[in-house]
């Protein structure tokens, strides 16, 4: 925003408005992440993890609103285009801000992935999009100065707004997937199936495997088929072994294992416990 105040460039204003959204989103994410880390209670028995998805959705909406404001300012610039003032100073200020943002965005994305924090990763990706925006603005304004064509400034701002809208859409769509109980990622599900294959010795089969991700938490449940004459204690030991193995590869996982005798008719998805052949459908 300081760079815009120095130059009067609509493109720099667009970059500044996006940065304001970054700050607002960061403040919101701070409180939401603290809330999401609360332990399960009587009213939220599976925890408060999904609060992070709500934060990311709101951030996506803020991004789109910022884009609309940018387009409005750019339109006025198209009507009355003018060359930026003190361009070297403004570009220098913006370049410094872009470098700071790049370092900070990488930190947020890395920590978000490490802690399975949707809000942190969304904030990091948003800031990284701001870095790309800043680079585009710098290049565009240099072209404005070289060509002397002032109308390029608002056109550049509109292009920035379009990129911001795209980033907002990606943030919202990813977060809605979490709110809709999206399953584990394919590599995570493959790791779960491998753990079941290696640690289900004594069982006859596993089927109806289901999973969902809620921020840092993962919920996995399946049916474990055991011999009809197996004792409850023996079946319990197999379940404990499976839980330990799966929690070792999916930190924060909560498991629900339904034990049933071999005489029960299998249904849902079958997991091959003798070899990794994947999932095959079985009619109930």
Runs of H (alpha helix) within the chain: 2-7, 10-36, 51-79, 87-114, 118-147, 152-179, 186-199, 232-249
Lowest mean pLDDT among 147-161, 172-186, 208-222: 172-186
Rounded to 5°, the CA angle 204-210-215 comes to: 140
Q: What is the DSSP string of 83-107?
A: PPSSHHHHHHHHHHHHHHHHHHHHH
Contact call for residues 50 and 118 (beta carbons, < 8 A): no
Say whether pLDDT at 47 is over 70.
Answer: yes
Q: How far is CA 15 from its chain centroid?
A: 23
Rg over alpha carbons for the chain, rounded to the nearest Å, is: 26
Better-predicted residue by pLDDT, 67 or 249: 249
Q: What is the DSSP string of 34-64?
A: HHHTSPP-SS-TT-STTHHHHHHHHHHHHHH
pLDDT at res. 226: 92
pLDDT digits (tens, 9 = 90+) for 8-31: 888 788 778 878 877 887 888 788
pLDDT digits (tens, 9 = 90+) for 191-250: 999 999 899 889 988 888 998 887 667 889 999 999 989 999 999 999 999 999 999 988
């Amino acid at each position: 925003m300081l760079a815009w105040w120095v130059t009067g460039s609509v493109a720099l204003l667009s970059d500044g408005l996006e940065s304001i959204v970054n700050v607002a989103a960061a403040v919101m994410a701070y409180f939401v992440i603290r809330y999401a880390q609360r332990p399960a209670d009587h009213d939220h028995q599976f925890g408060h993890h999904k609060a992070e998805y709500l934060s990311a959705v709101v951030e996506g909406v803020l991004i789109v609103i910022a884009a609309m404001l940018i387009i409005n300012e750019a339109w006025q610039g198209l009507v009355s285009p003018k060359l930026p003032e003190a361009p070297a100073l403004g570009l220098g200020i913006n370049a410094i801000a872009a470098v700071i943002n790049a370092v900070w965005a990488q930190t947020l994305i890395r920590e978000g992935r490490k802690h399975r924090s949707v809000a942190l990763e969304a904030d990091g990706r948003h800031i990284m999009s701001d870095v790309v925006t800043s680079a585009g603005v710098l290049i565009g304004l240099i072209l404005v100065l070289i060509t002397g064509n002032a109308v390029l400034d608002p056109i550049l701002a509109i292009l920035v707004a379009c990129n911001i809208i795209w980033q907002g859409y990606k943030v919202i769509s990813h977060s809605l997937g979490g709110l809709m109980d999206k399953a584990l990622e394919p590599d995570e599900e493959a790791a779960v199936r491998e753990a079941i294959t290696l640690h289900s010795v004594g069982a006859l089969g596993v089927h109806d495997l289901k999973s969902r991700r809620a921020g840092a938490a993962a919920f996995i449940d399946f049916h474990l088929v055991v011999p009809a004459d197996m004792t409850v204690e023996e079946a319990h030991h197999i379940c404990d072994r499976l839980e330990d193995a799966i929690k070792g590869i999916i930190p924060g996982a909560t498991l629900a294992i339904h034990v049933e005798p071999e005489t029960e008719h299998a249904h849902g998805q079958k997991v091959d416990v003798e070899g990794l052949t994947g999932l095959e459908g079985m009619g109930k």
